[in-house]
């Protein structure tokens, strides 16, 4: 089990290390889509938010803008090369960056008001445990946004593959997965130019 986790992490790091330097240049026009997705969270000034799998930090300026200087923005990623790009792009001015696995976060229970995860969930070998860990660090009624600037069908086409019904991002798969992890799916959009699933943290029994 521990060895399997180490292998999974190594595979993710290898995949994204190769892509880190070119990541932002490949998708230069996505900024407004990230800002629009962040806006859907309706974050208040002073709120605390985590960008889970922040990569080079494309969402971090919009998250900082939303919570203001009194708020807290964290960016967590497993791949050092992606975080180095984030620093090179000055994104460490918008957020505290940490190298961490989102399935094992060094954060206390209920710390955050919200989590934003762009392009993350498909890369988690165990999406259920990742979503449970994200639920652990979010307060009751806090929010989760799972975003991608391209919808499932358009992304599959880009990668030359077919869309499959067992895709973790498909609503019939995602909804029960979220529920088992402590989230309630409240909104789901899968269009060519946007994938956005919004969920709310179910109140926890005390
Ligand atoms: C598709 S990229 C998206 C990056 C960024 N969110 C964006 O939208 O540009 C996925 C990112 O998730 C990170 N990642 C994958 N699995 C992770 C995990 N278990 N914990 C933390 N980060 C992870 C990868 O290192 C990579 O930077």
- The string of pLDDT tens digits covering residues 101-157 is 999 999 999 999 999 999 999 999 889 999 999 999 999 999 999 999 999 999 999
Any idea which residue has 């971090």 for tokens?
Answer: 60
Give the binding-site residues of ligand 1, using a 6 Å CB cut-off.
12, 16, 53-56, 58, 76-79, 82, 101-103, 118-120, 123-124
Listed in order, strand segments (DSSP E) in 30-155 are 48-52, 72-77, 96-99, 112-118, 138-148
Angstrom distance (rounded) from CA 30 to CA 44: 23
Residue whose CA lies nearest to ligand 1 atom number 11: 53
**Spacing, Cα 95 to ligand 1 middle (Å):** 16
User: Ligand 1, atom 19: nearest CA belongs to which residue?
Assistant: 101
Question: Is position 8 within any domain?
Answer: yes
pLDDT digits (tens, 9 = 90+) for 119-128: 999 999 889 9
SS3 content of the chain, % helix, strand, coil (to 5): 40, 25, 35
Instruction: List the CATH number of the domain containing 92.
Output: 3.40.50.150
Q: Give bridge partners of residue 197 from the DSSP assignment.
A: 146, 188
For the chain, the straight-line distance linking the first and the last C-alpha, in angstroms and rounded, comes to 31
Structural domain boundaries, residue 154: 2-201
Instruction: Give the number of domains in the chain.
Output: 1
The preferred substitution site among 53, 86, 102, 133 for testing ligand 1, maximizing ligand atoms within 8 Å of CB, is 53
How many A from CA of 51 to the centre of ligand 1?
9
Q: Is residue 92 part of a domain?
A: yes
Residue 184, in any domain of the structure: yes
Is the whole model's pTM more than 0.85, yes or no?
yes
* Entry field: residues in the chain: 206
Question: Are the CB atoms for 164 and 139 separated by under 8 Å?
Answer: no
CA 182 – ligand 1 centroid, Å: 22
The one-digit pLDDT tens for each residue of the chain (206 residues) are 778 888 889 999 999 999 999 999 998 899 999 999 999 999 999 999 999 999 999 999 999 999 999 999 999 999 999 999 999 999 999 999 999 999 999 999 999 999 999 999 999 988 999 999 999 999 999 999 999 999 999 999 988 998 888 999 999 999 999 999 999 999 999 999 999 999 999 997 76
Ligand 1 pocket: which of 77, 100, 129 to mutate (most atoms within 8 A of CB): 77
Task: Note whether residue 206 is domain-resident.
Answer: no
Tell me, yes or no, whether 113 lies in a domain. Answer: yes
């Amino acid at each position: 089990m521990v060895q399997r986790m180490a292998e999974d992490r190594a595979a993710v790091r290898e995949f994204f290390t190769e892509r880190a330097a070119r990541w932002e240049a490949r998708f230069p026009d996505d900024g407004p889509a990230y800002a629009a997705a962040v806006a859907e969270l309706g974050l208040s000034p002073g709120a605390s938010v985590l960008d889970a799998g922040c990569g080079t930090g494309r969402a971090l300026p919009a998250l900082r803008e939303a919570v203001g200087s009194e708020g807290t923005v964290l960016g967590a990623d497993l791949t050092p090369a992606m975080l180095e790009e984030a620093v090179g792009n000055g994104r460490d001015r918008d957020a505290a960056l940490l190298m961490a696995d989102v399935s094992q976060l060094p954060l206390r229970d209920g710390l955050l008001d919200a989590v934003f995860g762009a392009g993350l969930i498909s890369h988690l070998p165990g999406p259920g445990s990742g979503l449970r860990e994200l639920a652990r660090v979010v307060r009751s009624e806090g929010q989760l946004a799972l975003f991608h600037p391209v919808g499932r069908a358009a992304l599959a086409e880009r990668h030359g593959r077919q869309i499959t019904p067992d895709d973790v991002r498909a609503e019939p798969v995602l909804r029960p997965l979220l529920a088992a992890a402590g989230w309630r799916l409240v909104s789901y959009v899968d269009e060519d130019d946007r994938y956005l699933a919004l969920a709310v943290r179910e109140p926890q029994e005390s």
